[in-house]
């Protein structure tokens, strides 16, 4: 596939693919920021180690996806420096800060599960073999992130008064905002980049969540103004104060 | 009664002598049951300090992760911190077998009672400090733990340091790579690095503790918990650091004394850091004055360790 | 600022920590070796922690065993059932 310098040169399918991969990469970028922000709240030395590892894992995956986006004209300069809070396309799920350790655990479970579900549909892509291999590698590495959150959920449930199930219910509604308006045409699926449609992936996600949490019937979020390019309802972008915390600083000191 | 006490004392002394003879002959201890109380105390004190030093890197590296300039740099610092937390985990796990409760040690103990070193008690100001921290601080730490790995007469501790040293060596290399890069970025950047090196160098030199003429931890050497004295370890550190600095164009207050064939500091330890200006005063003071400054600690120690023991959520995060 | 309140029974697995011993090898020719130990209240968390703490190599094989399941033979009566390293 040729590298292009301008979005205008892209086919319709590539434009939509570019948007979706940007959303997935940004989801990982902001999730990595979550691990960074919560690190010191860890509840054992092994949590400090694990959270550091998951942070690196997510940043590494984000970087690999951004590099892949290079073929659509995306540069690391744009990714790391020229964008502002309004340009970040992470899921709405990650906007609201965790309110407690159990809310944190419930949220990372939903986020890891949602991102992995979406990526799973690229694993068999014949249209882009490099992307397929990348998706497969990321999924394999994410397995331990899921064990971590599931292990914590089980531990927290040992306490009958734990709020983890309640937290998960609230976060599930926020997570479903990622698959907000399924009536819109799904060009990425139709053009063979993904092997499952967005509505199938939403079902796959709910099924995966259902193995750990009760999923109430008819949990659908309300699609009012969902935009596929950002996979969100409402205005684009993440809260300014979240962006300020996770953005990169001291540019002149970046290592080559 | 007196006779019984005397008999007990004689037995204890005999066990002590037997242990020392075994160690002198190069034996390695594998189990607590082989230790005398005195050996055990010296070993546990050494391991407990090492564990505290590892855990102190959490507050120290946290800011460095947050102000990192790029995805790559953030991954690099997080990776180094992950290593340090892994080391802390191994060390506190080992202390569990000596009756320590690591949960209490990390989350309940008064931050004032953590035994950290002055070098780890100042916040990093920019990625330049991250590079210097690796170059000066991890280098000093690596030299200390390499000595323990090679010499420690308690086998499990020595073996546990294989992983530690394997990883610390990467941190030192990363520091060299960073500082070499920054020193190639023009006069303004070189000055920034030099300014911070002026702060870091004496911290690194005093990492190894008091000079041998005032203190040599005889018990640690006696029991072969470690193999080299403070001054011997400091010499290794100077041998590695000073030529590197000369090569990249950084000035440090130390030089090679060709007559004695060793590296020497250009000043006489101990010296004091002015905690307001963060500048060193190179006039020699007394060791009790220096010990008082160490005991008081740097500005990061108490807030940093307190942060590790509390949780912040919701609006306190963003 | 709220001091962390950690329920040891629930989060750490009991009053006394629950340990899992970690075994791994880099390739099939190497023997499976005890490489360390992690504390966790359940196997899922132990699995993740073992993977993240002992990541100094890319392991070909890794497994964990609850310390409580280990029967000591030569170390009977010793304070630690399995040496940390």
Residue at A46 is within a domain: yes
How much is the pTM? 0.95
Of A41, A43, A49, the CB nearest to C53: A49
CB contact under 8 A, B311 and C36: no
Domain membership of residue A157 as a residue range: 11-216+236-249
Distance between CA atoms of B229 and B244, rounded to whole angstroms?
A: 23
How large is the ipTM? 0.95
The pLDDT value given to residue C77: 75
CA distance A163 to chain C (A): 14
Distance between CA atoms of B132 and B134, rounded to whole angstroms?
A: 5
Dihedral Cα A49, A50, A56, A57, nearest 10 deg: 150
The pLDDT value given to residue A250: 95
Look-up: residue for tokens 């000073």?
Answer: B242
Number of domains in chain A: 1
Q: In this structure, are residues A103 and A166 in contact, taking their beta carbons and an 8 Å threshold?
A: no
CB contact under 8 A, A43 and C4: yes
The pLDDT value given to residue B257: 98
Which structure tokens are listed for B80?
């180094």
CA distance B123 to chain A (A): 16
Higher pLDDT, C38 or A115: A115
Chain B residues within an 8 Å CB radius of C54: 86, 163
B125 touches chain A (CB under 8 A): no
The pLDDT value given to residue B269: 98
**Residues B265-305 pLDDT 10s:** 999 999 999 999 999 999 999 999 999 999 999 999 999 99
Chain A residues within an 8 Å CB radius of B78: 36, 52, 55-56, 59
Nearest CA to B45 out of B226, B177, B205, B190 is that of B226
Q: Is the pLDDT assigned to residue B4 strictly greater than 90?
A: no
Residue at A136 is within a domain: yes
The pLDDT value given to residue A24: 98
The pLDDT value given to residue A183: 80
**Residues B78-121 pLDDT 10s:** 999 999 999 999 899 899 989 999 999 999 999 999 999 999 99
Residue at A231 is within a domain: no
Residue at A176 is within a domain: yes
Architecture of the domain delimited by C13-69: Roll (3.10)
The per-residue b/e assignment along A76-92, b for 16 or more CB within 10 angstroms, e otherwise, is: eeebbeebebebbbbbb
Nearest Cα residue in chain C from B159 = C85
Percent helix, percent strand, percent coil in chain B, to nearest 5? 65, 5, 25
Distance between CA atoms of B24 and A173, rounded to whole angstroms?
A: 68
CA A152 to chain centre: 20
pLDDT-based confidence at B51, cuts 50/70/90? very high
The pLDDT value given to residue A4: 60
The pLDDT value given to residue B13: 87
Query: Number of B:C CB contacts under 8 A?
Result: 60
Q: DSSP string covering B163-210, please?
A: HHHHHHHHHHHHHHHHHHHHTTSHHHHHHHHHHHHHHHHHHHHHTT-S
CA B69 to chain centre: 27
Averaged pLDDT score across all residues of chain B: 95
Give the domain ranges of chain C.
Answer: 13-69
Which CATH number among 1.25.40.10, 1.10.3760.10, 1.20.1260.10, 3.30.420.40 corresponds to the domain B33-309? 1.20.1260.10
Chain A residues within an 8 Å CB radius of B56: none
* Subunits adjacent to chain C (3 or more Cβ pairs under 8 Å): A, B
- Average pLDDT of the residues in B227-250: 97
B110 touches chain C (CB under 8 A): no
CB contact under 8 A, B89 and A45: yes
Q: DSSP string covering B239-267, please?
A: HHHHHHHHHHT---SEEEETTTTEEEESS
B108 touches chain A (CB under 8 A): no
CATH of the domain at A133: 1.20.1260.10
CA distance B279 to chain A (A): 23
Distance between CA atoms of B261 and B256, rounded to whole angstroms?
A: 7
Angstrom distances, CA of residue B191 to CA of B174, B184, B197: 20, 11, 10
Distance between CA atoms of A105 and A63, rounded to whole angstroms?
A: 24
Which residues, given as ranges, of chain A have pLDDT below 70?
1-6, 220-223
Nearest CA to B89 out of C67, C7, C3, C36 is that of C36
Which structure tokens are listed for B112?
């004032």
Q: Is the pLDDT assigned to residue C13 strictly greater than 70?
A: no
Which structure tokens are listed for B104?
């209490």
**Residues B162-209 pLDDT 10s:** 889 999 999 999 999 999 999 999 999 999 999 999 999 999 999 999
The pLDDT value given to residue B303: 97
**Residues A220-242 pLDDT 10s:** 666 678 999 999 999 999 999 99
């Amino acid at each position: 596939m040729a590298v292009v310098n301008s979005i205008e040169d892209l086919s319709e399918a590539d434009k939509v693919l570019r948007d979706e991969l940007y959303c997935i990469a940004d989801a990982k970028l902001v999730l990595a920021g979550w691990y960074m922000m919560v690190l010191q709240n860890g509840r054992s030395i092994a949590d400090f180690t694990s959270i550091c590892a998951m942070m690196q894992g997510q940043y590494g995956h984000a970087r690999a996806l951004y590099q892949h986006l290079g073929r659509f004209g995306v540069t690391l300069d744009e990714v790391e420096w020229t964008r502002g809070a309004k340009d970040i396309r992470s899921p709405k799920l990650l906007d609201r800060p965790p309110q407690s350790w159990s809310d944190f655990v419930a949220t990372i479970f939903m986020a890891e599960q949602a991102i992995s579900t979406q990526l799973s549909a690229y694993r068999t892509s014949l249209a882009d073999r490099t992307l397929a291999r990348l998706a497969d590698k990321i999924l394999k590495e994410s397995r331990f992130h899921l064990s971590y959150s599931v292990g914590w959920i089980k531990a927290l449930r040992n306490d009958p008064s734990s709020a983890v199930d309640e937290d998960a219910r609230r976060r599930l509604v926020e997570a479903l905002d990622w698959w907000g308006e399924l009536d819109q045409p799904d060009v990425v699926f139709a053009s063979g980049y993904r092997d499952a449609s967005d509505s199938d992936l939403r079902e796959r996600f709910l099924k995966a969540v259902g193995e750990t949490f009760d999923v109430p019937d008819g949990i659908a979020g309300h699609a009012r103004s969902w935009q596929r390019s950002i996979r969100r309802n409402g205005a684009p972008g993440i809260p300014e104060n979240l962006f300020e915390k996770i953005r990169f600083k001291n540019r002149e000191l970046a290592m080559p | 009664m007196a006779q019984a006490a005397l008999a007990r004392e004689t037995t204890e002394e005999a066990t002590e002598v037997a242990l020392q003879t075994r160690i002198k002959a190069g034996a390695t201890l594998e189990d607590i049951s082989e230790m005398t109380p005195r050996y055990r105390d010296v070993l546990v004190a050494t391991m407990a300090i090492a564990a505290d030093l590892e855990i102190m890197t959490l507050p120290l590296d946290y800011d460095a992760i947050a102000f990192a300039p790029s995805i790559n740099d953030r991954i690099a610092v997080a990776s180094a911190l992950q290593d340090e937390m892994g080391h802390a985990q191994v060390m506190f796990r080992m202390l569990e077998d000596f009756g320590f409760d690591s949960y209490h040690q990390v989350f309940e103990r008064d931050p004032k009672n953590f035994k950290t070193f002055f070098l780890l008690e100042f916040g990093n100001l920019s990625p330049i400090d991250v590079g210097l921290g690796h170059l000066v601080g991890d280098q000093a730490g690596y030299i200390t733990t390499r000595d323990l790995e090679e010499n420690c007469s308690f086998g499990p501790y020595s073996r546990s340091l294989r992983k530690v040293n394997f990883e610390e060596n990467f941190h030192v290399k990363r520091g060299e790579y960073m500082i070499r890069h920054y020193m190639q970025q023009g006069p303004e950047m070189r000055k920034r690095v030099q300014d911070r090196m002026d702060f870091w160098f004496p911290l690194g030199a005093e990492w190894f503790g008091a000079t041998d003429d005032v203190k040599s931890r005889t018990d640690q050497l006696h029991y072969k918990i470690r193999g080299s004295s403070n001054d011997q370890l400091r010499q290794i550190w100077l041998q590695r650091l000073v030529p590197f600095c000369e090569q990249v164009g950084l000035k440090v207050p130390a030089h090679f004394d060709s007559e004695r064939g060793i590296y020497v500091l250009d000043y006489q330890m101990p010296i004091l850091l002015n905690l307001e200006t963060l500048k060193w005063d190179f006039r020699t003071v007394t060791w009790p004055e220096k010990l008082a400054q160490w005991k008081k600690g740097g500005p990061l120690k108490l807030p940093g360790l307190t942060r590790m023991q509390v949780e912040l959520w919701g609006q306190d995060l963003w | 600022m709220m001091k962390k309140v950690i329920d040891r029974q629930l989060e750490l697995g009991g009053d006394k920590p629950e340990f899992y011993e970690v075994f791994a090898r880099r390739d099939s020719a190497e023997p499976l070796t005890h490489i360390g130990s992690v504390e966790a209240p359940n196997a899922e968390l132990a699995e993740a922690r073992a993977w993240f703490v002992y990541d100094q190599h890319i392991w070909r094989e890794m497994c964990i065993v609850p310390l409580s399941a280990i029967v000591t033979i030569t170390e009977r009566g010793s304070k630690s059932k399995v040496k940390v390293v």
